[in-house]
Chains A and B, each alone.
Chain A
Amino acid sequence: MKISLTVNGRKIQEDIQESMLLIDFLRSHGYTSVKRGCETSNCGLCTVLMDDHPILSCSMLAARADGHSIVTLEGAGKEAEAFAEFMAKEGAEQCGFCSPGLIMNVIAMKKELKNPTKEEIKQYLSGNLCRCSGYMSQMRAIEKYLQEESV
């Protein structure tokens, strides 16, 4: 089937297999920041934004993105860079495999929640697993980032 969508501002039209998942579509187009950590929608590594909302690209058919706008870390620009700097300063990216998904979800969270509490942050991001960091350094980075952005 034919789909047409925007990825990171670029229009793509393509004939795809109906069963193709969005994650595979994106990776095959070179957006390899999108990572897969599971087959059961449990890890959050594959998070991208569709029309500004975070979605799990492993659990969505590429066909459903037809007519929508997708943003991956490659296209997340300044916002991602700003947060990435806080992550790096904390050493919060260890293996880094979970970072793209986390960063996308943090960007979405910042839009959605105003002055979130620690508990709200944890709740919002609870679907983003990280096996390396123990989450504390990520939280330090997130809090500093939100603070910085609000001044």
Chain B
Amino acid sequence: MKQISQPVVKKDAAALLSGKPVYTDDLAMKDCLIIKLLRSPHAFAKIKKIDTSKALRIPGIEAIFTYEDVPNTRFTLAGQTYPELSPYDGKILENIVRYVGDEVAIIVGKDEMCCEQAKKLIQVEYEVYEPLLDFTKAIDNKIVVHPEDDYKYLVDIGNEVKRNIVSQGRDEAGDVEKELSLCDVVIERDYHTKANAQAMMETFRSYAYLDAYNRLNIVSSTQIPFHVRRIVANALELPKSKIRVIKPRIGGGFGAKQTACCEIFSAFVTWKLKKPSKIVYTREETFMASNSRHEMKMHVRVGAMKDGTICAIDLHTLSNTGAYGEHGPTTVGLSGHKSLPLYKLNASCFSYEVVYTNTMRAGAYRGYGATQGIFAVESAINELADALKMDPCELRLKNMVEEGDIMPQYYNETANSCTLKDCLLKAMELIDWKNKSLKTDLGDKVRGLGVALAMQGSGIANVDVGSVRIKLEDDGFYTLSIGATDMGTGCDTILAQMAAECLDCEVDQIVVQGVDTDSSPYDTGSYASSTTYVTGMAVVKACEQLKEKIVKEAALLMQTKEEELVFDGKMIRTLDENKAMSLNEFAYLCAAGGKGKMLMADDSHSSMVSPPPFMAGIAEVDVDKLTGEITMHDYVAVVDCGTVINTNLARVQVEGGIAQGIGMALLEDIVYDKNGRMIANSFMQYKLPTRKDVGEIRVDFMPSYEPTGPFGAKSIGEVVINTPSPAIASAVAHASGQYVRTLPITPEKVLGFKHED
């Protein structure tokens, strides 16, 4: 293969690296009205009165909108395929505010300064309620976060809103209690992962304007342009045909932009005032008033025999969705369905509840629940190894899922491509596992080793769809229209590589376009690790079609039979080589002279399965004996993502995911004060890993071949964030003797100074 498994440079590299104006705020017209939001200072309150009269007198203020001015419909901001599994529980503005940061009023003015001034002059009278802040006490609490009658959900998700339960369920395969009762050892532990900020460098932003047809155009930094079209249509009570969404380059998403946090505001303002408007969230707003990872508490029981045979795992997850239910019912599922299948088990059980509280809404963040579940399950497996005095890698090699296995907790799918064992063996080799011990005394510090496995999915089976259109242009190049959204991950380039491979041409010959819901083919968006796998397959199908069309049309023009022709990407010739035509010539003939016709092909793809990528990660960390300080020394990660399409971009995905995982493991923690106000709401308090914090990250691949994927590929974007937390927790435990089960693993917890919860 010429274009696949190559380190092809990203198509947008030159623009990005020369600072071209390609992001939302660079493109917004200069005369946009500026939008600022007044946010609630209370975690739970009813707005009794709002007086905007003084604020409206500030020069430059154009309008101020309150709950009385907006449509009354409830909807969800979650970017999911209709019918969404997230409940319709929010409005543009409402007279009840449910967390500190919830929107109270929309201020529109000529510049930021006048909006900020006006904000201070809006007088709001609140009836303050006691908030529900502890998610472990949410179920059947006397405080009900959503008491309203017009609350609704579209799909049965086990919802009991008056008990604060968004969703609940249970999946059992085999008889867990019986299996556990037969085991020699049962490890029973509680693990707790915190809400984390996705913290993409470009905060939420969008602008809107009306076009010549009086349609609402929204330019947004989003992962889900087609879902934004629906969400805005729902919120504004408009037909979708009135709305167009455009996605330029995005400064990172990681799932955050799978929730349409800010688009409804610019859309509403522009629709109302018939003028262009723009909203750019501050970093503080992005922290405290958008969405985060779901905080989860997990109770795990793992049963095994003395020889290290793991027999059964029981996992219960309690998930905090915050004030609104975006992605709540779906993320929780992954905590079990993408952790338990890592092992061959006689029986397993996964049960869960997702609850409302008066904290910021949770949403999608890379890993989407799998990260949390894998922290719990892999930590428990590590604790089991220690209890059995077995090498944690040996224990895994003995029990892990293998190619051909049916995975009962993974919707009974078969692992058709899986090199997990090779991944672990390779990781062991890279770190020199055999010659090291789990704990090495270095004097002031102790070095520890820890390991973890992970999996994820590739797209959402039977739900999501990717479509593409490819056209042959008059100069013999191709334009590839896709609806999938490159958010920096390089999917535009990866999909172009696939097209180039199919059409036997150079990647430069494939022109890729950004997403515009008017002209791009429908795609559910870039999330759930779907682009390479789902949209990639659509590319392959469309290109095959186009090739056939080229040959068919050429047969007409060359007055020969289709079967007589071969197309090698550059030339179309007859088998006997008597007649030949270059693709250029052919393309010109198609475009001109009344002889031919323009050729294009489109296709969509939706998969019946979601083949998991797998990986193994090993962490080597140093713990300071005196201070408990943890330093990352080395991290090796070996990934099975099927065929690697772009060797550079895949590697950087892994490195980036591991670094984020290290942040989750050691640093990142969204904390609230006792009144429900988020304390860590800037990079000052919420520490992202810097280049000094991540140590050395080393990456390798053990490609399997996924029969249902394009060129054998699976996904890679999400699985890579899942191993650091459990691997580092175990490494720290080996070094310090302290098993930290509540993230992040801080020096205080390592030294046992701080009670974990």
> With A131-B201, A131-B688, A138-B691 as given contacts, are A38 and B682 in contact (CB-CB < 8 Å)?
yes
> How many angstroms from the CA of A134 to the CA of B26 in the assembled complex?
26
A133: B residues at CB distance < 8 A: 652, 655-656, 659
A49-57, A107-115, A120-128: which lies at the interface: A120-128
B651: A residues at CB distance < 8 A: 91, 137
Cβ of A42 and Cβ of B684 under 8 Å apart?
yes
B16: A residues at CB distance < 8 A: 93, 95-96, 99
> How many angstroms from the CA of A128 to the CA of B648 in the assembled complex?
22
Cβ of A37 and Cβ of B19 under 8 Å apart?
no
* Inter-chain residue pair count (beta carbon < 8 A): 170
Number of chain A residues close to chain B: CB under 8 A? 50
Cβ of B252 and Cβ of A97 under 8 Å apart?
yes
A41 to chain B minimum Cβ distance, whole angstroms, is 9
Is A62 close to B, CB under 8 A? no
B21 to chain A minimum Cβ distance, whole angstroms, is 4
* Closest chain B residue to A17, Cβ basis: B113
* Closest chain A residue to B654, Cβ basis: A134
A127: B residues at CB distance < 8 A: 690
B13: A residues at CB distance < 8 A: 84, 87-88, 93
Q: Using a CB-CB cutoff of 8 Å, which residues 64-91 of chain A contact chain B? A: 72-74, 80-81, 84, 87-91
B14: A residues at CB distance < 8 A: 84, 88
Cβ of B655 and Cβ of A100 under 8 Å apart?
no
> Which one of B651, B652, B654, B691 has the greatest number of beta carbons of chain A within 10 Å?
B691
Number of chain B residues close to chain A: CB under 8 A? 57
Cβ of B23 and Cβ of A131 under 8 Å apart?
no
Is A147 close to B, CB under 8 A? no
B223 to chain A minimum Cβ distance, whole angstroms, is 12
Cβ of B19 and Cβ of A95 under 8 Å apart?
no
Residue from the list A42, A92, A125 in contact with B682, Cβ < 8 A: A42
Is A13 close to B, CB under 8 A? no
> With A39-B283, A40-B684, A91-B648 as given contacts, are A126 and B690 in contact (CB-CB < 8 Å)?
yes
Q: Using a CB-CB cutoff of 8 Å, which residues 322-339 of chain B contact chain A? A: none
> How many angstroms from the CA of A99 to the CA of B17 in the assembled complex?
6
Cβ of A74 and Cβ of B652 under 8 Å apart?
no
Cβ of B652 and Cβ of A42 under 8 Å apart?
no
> How many angstroms from the CA of A131 to the CA of B251 in the assembled complex?
10
Cβ of B659 and Cβ of A135 under 8 Å apart?
yes
Residue from the list B26, B253, B652, B660 in contact with A32, Cβ < 8 A: B26
Is B259 close to A, CB under 8 A? no
Besides A32-B23, A80-B18, A138-B691, 10 new A-B residue pairs in contact (Cβ under 8 A), listed by A number: A42-B682, A84-B13, A89-B648, A94-B252, A94-B652, A96-B251, A97-B201, A98-B201, A133-B652, A136-B655
Where the two chains meet, the residues of A that have a C-beta atom closer than 8 Å to any C-beta of B are 30, 32-35, 37-40, 42-43, 45, 72-74, 80-81, 84, 87-100, 103, 122-123, 125-139
Where the two chains meet, the residues of B that have a C-beta atom closer than 8 Å to any C-beta of A are 7, 9-10, 12-14, 16-21, 23, 25-26, 198-203, 249-254, 282-284, 487-490, 646, 648-649, 651-652, 654-660, 682-684, 688, 690-692, 694, 696-697, 699
